[in-house]
C-alpha cells in the first residue's frame, strides 16, 4: 500500500500522534503502508521554504529511507522560487513537489503558478496540489486558509500534456458538473487522492467519474486518522483488483512514468 | 536556470531507487483493529445523499455498506429529502413515515428516531406520541431545524422524552465560517440539559470544532459527545475520552453524506483501549437505549 498524502513534523494548531518522523514511519508501517509520499507541515507558514525542504529531505533519508518519498514545497509567490524547484530535483532528488495555494494564497490562474507547472512538467517532476488540508468550518478563525478553487486547471492541464498532476484533499469531484471540473476529471494526466472523499458510494462514484487508473490512496495522515482512509477502501463496492490499483498500482505507475 | 539531460536522468534514477516498493501484503485495506468484533451501533444515519428511490432501497444500500465494516445496527432519522430549515408538520410526518417504513423492512438492522420541528410544539408532541409512545421509534433526533435548542419550546418535548426514558440527539455546530440560521451549539445543549437533569442528551458532532465542544459540555454529566459528521481529524476521540470519560463518547457516522469508514476510523484509529472502543462503538448507546428497548420488547 502506498500512501500518497502524508506530512512530516508538527501541525501548527495541535500536537498529533505521528508528528515526529520516527513515530510517523513506525505507525504507518504498523498500519500496513509500504511507502508514503511526504510533504512538510512547515511548508504551510514558513517563509524559508528552502530550509523546510532541506529538513524534509534529511528526515526522509535519515528516518524513512526506502519508505518516505519527499515532496518539497515551492511557493511561486516567493522571490527566486525557481531555485527551490531546482534544489528539490537536483539537490534533494525529490520525484515531485507539493503546492499549497490555499495557504500561500494564490489562485490557480496566477501567472507564476502557471509558469511553475510548466517548468515542473519540463523537468518531469510530479506535481501534487494540496487543495485543502482542513475543513474551513473548523479552522482557527484568525488564520483561515480557504480551499483552492481547482476550476482553472480545467484548461491548464490540457495545455500541459507532459504534466503529471495529483490533486490532494479535494472533495466532491463526482458531484460537480461544472465544465471545468468535468475537464479535470477526464484529463488523462490528472490523478486524485481520496482522503476527503466521503459518502455512501463516494469512492465508487469518484472512480466512475474519473478512472480506475487515476485514483490513488491518500490518508492526510497524521492530520486525519489513517484508519479512516483504510476503512473507506474496505467499505467500497470495488473488486480486489480495483482496490489494489487504488492502494498501490496507480501510485506505483505514476512514479514509474517519471 | 537550465536542466541538462544528465542531471535529469541522474535525478530520475535516484528517485526511482528511493521509491522501490516491497511486495504487497494481502488485503492491505483490512486493518487489524476491525477484526476484534466490536459490536458497532451507529447513532447517526440518514437516508439522504445516496442512490435509491424508496426508503427501503436506501436502507438496503446502507446495510450492504454496514456489512462490509461489521456494523450491526444504525439509528435512522429524517433526511430522505433535502434538508428543510422550516419543515411543516406534514413534512415532518412524511419523513418519520419514511423512516418507519425502512426500519420495518429491516427490523434487525435499524431503529427509528423521531424528527421534530420545535417551532410547532403541539405537532411535535403529537408526533412523539404517534411514533415513539405508540410506535416503534426509540429516541428523538437528530433535531436539526432553525430553532436553537436552548429555546423553552423544547421543554415540554424533553419532559415527554424523560417520561419514557428516551434519549435526545441534538445537532450542534460551532462553525468558523459562521453558524447557520438558528443552528444550535454545544453551549445551547448544555443550557437545555441543565434545565432537565433527568434528560439524556447527545451532542451531535460535538460542535464540529470539537476542541471547543468537548470543553463546553465537560461539566454537564447528562450530555454525551458524538463524533460524527466531520472530517476524521486525529485527536478528537482521544481528547473526548480524556476529558469526558469513555462512557460519555458515542460513535456515529452521519451517513449518507459521510462514509461509515471515515467515521469508524475515528475510533479504531484512536490511541485508546479496546474497552473504551467497545463503549464508544456501541456500548454507551445500548446503555442509553436499554430502558426504552426493554419497554418495547426490542433487542439490545
Can you give the residue range of the structural domain that contains B149? 38-296
Which ranges constitute the DSSP H helices of chain B?
Answer: 5-18, 55-69, 89-105, 121-128, 155-164, 186-195, 210-217, 236-244, 260-268, 274-278, 284-296
CATH number (domain holding residue B92): 3.20.20.140
Q: Does A208 contact chain B (CB < 8 Å)?
A: no
Q: Does A162 contact chain B (CB < 8 Å)?
A: no
Interface test with B, best of A123, A231, A238, A252 (most B CBs within 10 A): A231
What residues are paired with A3 via a beta bridge? A36
CA distance A72 to A84: 9
Q: What is the pLDDT of residues A127-184, one digit of tens each?
A: 999 999 999 999 999 999 999 999 999 999 999 999 999 999 999 999 899 999 999 9
What is the side-by-side strand order in the sheet with B140-143? B140-143, B168-171, B201-204, B223-226, B249-250
**B156 φψ region: left (φ > 0), alpha (ψ -120 to 50), beta (else):** alpha
CA atoms within a 13 Å half-sphere pointing along the CA-CB vector of A231: 32
Q: Does A225 contact chain B (CB < 8 Å)?
A: yes
Write down the pLDDT at residue B1.
34
Kindly report the nearest CA distance between residue A57 and chain B, in angstroms. 12
In the numeric block, which cell numbers belong to residue A40? 512538510
CA distance A57 to A70: 6
Cis omega before residue A166 (within 30°)? no
Please state, for a pLDDT cut of 90, what percent of chain A lies above it.
98
Question: From the DSSP assignment, how many helices (H) and strands (E) are in chain A?
Answer: 11, 8
Kindly report the nearest CA distance between residue A90 and chain B, in angstroms. 6
Report if residue B4 sits inside a domain: no
Which residue from B75, B142, B155, B150 is spatially nearest to B115, judged by alpha carbons? B142
Which residue from B60, B66, B30, B95 is spatially nearest to B259, judged by alpha carbons? B66
DSSP code at position A239: -
Q: Check if the beta carbon of residue B226 is closer than 8 Å to that of residue B44.
A: yes
Q: What is the pLDDT of residues B74-121, one digit of tens each?
A: 999 998 887 677 899 999 999 999 999 999 999 999 999 999 999 999
Q: Count Cβ atoms within 10 A of the Cβ of residue A178 and give its class: 0-12 exposed, 13-18 middle, 19 or more buried.
A: exposed
Question: Could you tell me whether strands B168-171 and B201-204 are parallel, antiparallel, or unpaired per DSSP bridges?
Answer: parallel
pTM of the predicted model over 0.80: yes
| Chain B residues touching A56 at Cβ < 8 A | none
CA distance B213 to B219: 11
Write down the pLDDT at residue B104.
97
- The closest CB to that of B266, out of A136, A228, A235, belongs to A228
Q: Does A224 contact chain B (CB < 8 Å)?
A: yes
Give this complex's ipTM: 0.97
Task: Give the end-to-end CA distance of chain B in Å, rounded to a whole number.
Answer: 70
Cis omega before residue A222 (within 30°)? yes
Give residues 88 to 127 of B whose Cβ lies within 8 Å of A: none
In the numeric block, which cell numbers belong to residue B171? 445537532
Report the topology of domain A2-257: TIM Barrel (3.20.20)
Write down the pLDDT at residue A157.
96
| Chain A residues touching B231 at Cβ < 8 A | 134-135, 138, 196, 224
- The closest CB to that of A32, out of B25, B62, B230, belongs to B25
Q: What is the count of structural domains for chain B?
A: 1
Q: Does A233 contact chain B (CB < 8 Å)?
A: yes
Q: Does A97 contact chain B (CB < 8 Å)?
A: no
Write down the pLDDT at residue B30.
60
Query: Between helices B186-195 and B155-164, what is the axis angle to 10°?
Result: 70
Residue A251 — very low, low, confident or very high, per pLDDT cuts 50/70/90?
very high
DSSP code at position A218: -
SS3 A180: helix
Report if residue B163 sits inside a domain: yes
DSSP code at position A202: H
Position of cell 461544472? A178
Q: Where are the beta strands (DSSP E) in A179-239?
A: 190-193, 215-216
Task: Say if the Cβ atoms of B31 and A32 lie within 8 Å.
Answer: yes
In the numeric block, which cell numbers belong to residue A4? 500518497
Task: Say if the Cβ atoms of A138 and B209 lie within 8 Å.
Answer: yes
pLDDT above 80 (res B32): no
Kindly report the nearest CA distance between residue B169 and chain A, in angstroms. 21
> In sequence order, what are the residues at sequence separation of 6 or more whose Cβ sits closer than 8 angstroms to the Cβ of residue B161?
B128, B140, B167, B168, B199
Report if residue B212 sits inside a domain: yes
Position of cell 423492512? B105
Residue A118 — very low, low, confident or very high, per pLDDT cuts 50/70/90?
very high
In the numeric block, which cell numbers belong to residue B38? 466490536
Q: How many residues does chain B have?
A: 300
Position of cell 436506501? B58
Q: Does B20 contact chain A (CB < 8 Å)?
A: yes
Report if residue B21 sits inside a domain: no
Q: Which sequence spans correspond to the domains of chain A?
A: 2-257
Amino acid at each position: 500500500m502506498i500512501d500518497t498524502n502524508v506530512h512530516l513534523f508538527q501541525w501548527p494548531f495541535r500536537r498529533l500522534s505521528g508528528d515526529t518522523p520516527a513515530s510517523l514511519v513506525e505507525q504507518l508501517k504498523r498500519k500496513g503502508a509500504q511507502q508514503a509520499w511526504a510533504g512538510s507541515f512547515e511548508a504551510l507558514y514558513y517563509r524559508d521554504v528552502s530550509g523546510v525542504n532541506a529538513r524534509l529531505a534529511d528526515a526522509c533519508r535519515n528516518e524513512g529511507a526506502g519508505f518516505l518519498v519527499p515532496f518539497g514545497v515551492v511557493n511561486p509567490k516567493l522571490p527566486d522560487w525557481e531555485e527551490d524547484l531546482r534544489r528539490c530535483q537536483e539537490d534533494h532528488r525529490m520525484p515531485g513537489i507539493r503546492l499549497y495555494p490555499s495557504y500561500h494564497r494564490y489562485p490557480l490562474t496566477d501567472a507564476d503558478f502557471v509558469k511553475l507547472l510548466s517548468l515542473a512538467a519540463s523537468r518531469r517532476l510530479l506535481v501534487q496540489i494540496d487543495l485543502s488540508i482542513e475543513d474551513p468550518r473548523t479552522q482557527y478563525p484568525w488564520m483561515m486558509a480557504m480551499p483552492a478553487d481547482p476550476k482553472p486547471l480545467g484548461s491548464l492541464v490540457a495545455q500541459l500534456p507532459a504534466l503529471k498532476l495529483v490533486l490532494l484533499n479535494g472533495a466532491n469531484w463526482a458531484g460537480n458538473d461544472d465544465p471545468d471540473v468535468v475537464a479535470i476529471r477526464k484529463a488523462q494526466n490528472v490523478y486524485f487522492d481520496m482522503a476527503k472523499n466521503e459518502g455512501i458510494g463516494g469512492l465508487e462514484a469518484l472512480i466512475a467519474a474519473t478512472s480506475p487508473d487515476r485514483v490513488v490512496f491518500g490518508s492526510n495522515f497524521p492530520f486525519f486518522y489513517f484508519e479512516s482512509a483504510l476503512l473507506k477502501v474496505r467499505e467500497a463496492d470495488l473488486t480486489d483488483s480495483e482496490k489494489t490499483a487504488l492502494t498501490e498500482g496507480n501510485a506505483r505507475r505514476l512514479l514509474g512514468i517519471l | 536556470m537550465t536542466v541538462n539531460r544528465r542531471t535529469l536522468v541522474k535525478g530520475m534514477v535516484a528517485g526511482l531507487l528511493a521509491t522501490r516498493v516491497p511486495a504487497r501484503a494481502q488485503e492491505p485495506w483490512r486493518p487489524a483493529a476491525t477484526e476484534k468484533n466490536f459490536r458497532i451501533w451507529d447513532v447517526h444515519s440518514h437516508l439522504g445523499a445516496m442512490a435509491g428511490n424508496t426508503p427501503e432501497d436506501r436502507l438496503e444500500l446502507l446495510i450492504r455498506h454496514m456489512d462490509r465494516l461489521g456494523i450491526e445496527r444504525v439509528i435512522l432519522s429524517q433526511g430522505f429529502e433535502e434538508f428543510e430549515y422550516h419543515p411543516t408538520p406534514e413534512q415532518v410526518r412524511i419523513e418519520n413515515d419514511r423512516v418507519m417504513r425502512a426500519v420495518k423492512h429491516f427490523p434487525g438492522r435499524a431503529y427509528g428516531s423521531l424528527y421534530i420541528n420545535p417551532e410547532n410544539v403541539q405537532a411535535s408532541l403529537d408526533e412523539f406520541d404517534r411514533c415513539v409512545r405508540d410506535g416503534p421509534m426509540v429516541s428523538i433526533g437528530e433535531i436539526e431545524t432553525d430553532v436553537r435548542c436552548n429555546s423553552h419550546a423544547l421543554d415540554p418535548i424533553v419532559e415527554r422524552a424523560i417520561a419514557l426514558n428516551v434519549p435526545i440527539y441534538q445537532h450542534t455546530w460551532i462553525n468558523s465560517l459562521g453558524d447557520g440560521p438558528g443552528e444550535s451549539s454545544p453551549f445551547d445543549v448544555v443550557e437545555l440539559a441543565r434545565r432537565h437533569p433527568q434528560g439524556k442528551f447527545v451532542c451531535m458532532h460535538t460542535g464540529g470544532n470539537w476542541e471547543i465542544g468537548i470543553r463546553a459540555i465537560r461539566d454537564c454529566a447528562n450530555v454525551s459527545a458524538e463524533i460524527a459528521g466531520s472530517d476524521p481529524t486525529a485527536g478528537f476521540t482521544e481528547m473526548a475520552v480524556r476529558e469526558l470519560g469513555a462512557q460519555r463518547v458515542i460513535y456515529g457516522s452521519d451517513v449518507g453524506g459521510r462514509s461509515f469508514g471515515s467515521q469508524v476510523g475515528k475510533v479504531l484509529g484512536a490511541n485508546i483501549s479496546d474497552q473504551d472502543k467497545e463503549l464508544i462503538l456501541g456500548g454507551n448507546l445500548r446503555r442509553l437505549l436499554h430502558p426504552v428497548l426493554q419497554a418495547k420488547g426490542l433487542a439490545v
